[in-house]
Amino acid sequence: MRSKIVAGNWKMNTTFQEAEDLLYEIADLLNEQGKGDADVIICPPSPYLEMASDIGVENDFFVGAQNANDHESGAFTGEISAAMISSMGITHVILGHSERRTYYGENDAIIKNKIDLALKHELVPIYCCGEVLAEREKSNHFEVVRRQVSEALFHLDKEAFSKIIIAYEPVWAIGTGVTATPDQAQEMHAFIRGLIATKYGDETAADTTILYGGSCNAKNAAELFSQADVDGGLIGGASLKAADFVTIVNSFK
Ligand code: 13P
């Protein structure tokens, strides 16, 4: 189902106490200011998932993990499985983030397995795609995103695909302060929706939620979210500041 969504990816930040304080600060602001008809998903570091989920249940926001392993279970020291995440009552998981692709060698074949396991365990995958700067400079960005989306997702049948949330995160915009222009975001989101339409039909394409991520903040969110094919954001740095994050949540027209 297509929804308005603002998701916060805290990455590897906060101590337990800082995380708890930030969650309550966000919850208080959401309760004060409302969130319109947007869904809020907060993705804290894994050790805090259960604590965050308890606060989320009381305050009407979802909690997601930032990653899950590509195996069901077994001898993978230090890793966290989709089954574990799901068994704690967590609802979403970010998969394919560019930091996982760059620093941990994840490719679309690995991410495809993660997608399958997430769906098997009834987690909603937030699938990240996006080109690096050199690819955009060579005008290769549409082809890169087409490959990422089709290789990791297009093996799914229509029903399974309809559970996926896509996040377009141009790598050159992540953590750099350089945001895609609203036109650049809209152009790529429309392209992704077109790929989905070709594969699964217009109805599925129209029903897919596509988020933008990459230096999205309290100042630029409203313009980005006003684009026809931008259904919300996946927010990094600005999700660690409660007031900014809740402003972003309330940036839909
Ligand atoms: P920033 O908002 O810090 O650029 O991070 C975006 C991101 O990677 C969200 O997953």
Tens of pLDDT, residue by residue over 181-219, are 999 999 999 999 999 999 999 999 999 999 999 999 999
Give the position, in ligand 1's atom list, of the atom nearest the Cα of 97: 10
Residue 75 has pLDDT above 90, yes or no: yes
Tell me, what's the pLDDT at 67?
98
Atom of ligand 1 nearest to the CA of 234: 9
How far is it, in rounded angstroms, from Cα 24 to Cα 70? 32
Give mean pLDDT, residues 166-172.
98
The reported pLDDT for the residue numbered 126 is 99
Mean pLDDT of the chain: 98
pTM: 0.98
Percent of the chain topping pLDDT 70: 100
User: How many residues in total does the chain contain?
Assistant: 253
Give the pLDDT confidence of 139-148 residue by residue, as tens digits: 999 999 999 9
Give residue ranges with CB within 6 A of ligand 1. Answer: 9, 97, 169, 174-175, 213-216, 234-238
What residue owns the CA closest to ligand 1's atom 7? 236
Closest among 243, 178, 253, 252 to 8, alpha carbons compared: 243
- Average pLDDT of the residues in 129-147: 97
Question: How many C-beta neighbours within 10 Å does residue 227 have?
Answer: 18
Q: Which of 6, 11, 133 to mutate to test the pocket of ligand 1 (most atoms within 8 A of CB)?
A: 11
Hunting for tokens 């690096």 — which residue is that?
132
Of 6, 9, 98, the one to substitute when testing ligand 1's pocket (max ligand atoms within 8 A of C-beta) is 9
pLDDT tens for each residue of 226-235: 999 999 999 9
pLDDT at 145: 98
* Residue 98 and residue 171 in contact, taking contact as beta carbons nearer than 8 Å: yes
pLDDT for 62: 98
pLDDT in tens, 4-35: 999 999 999 999 999 999 999 999 999 999 99
What residue ranges do the domains of the chain occupy?
A: 4-207
Q: Does domain 4-207 have CATH number 3.30.1490.100?
A: no
pLDDT score, position 253: 82
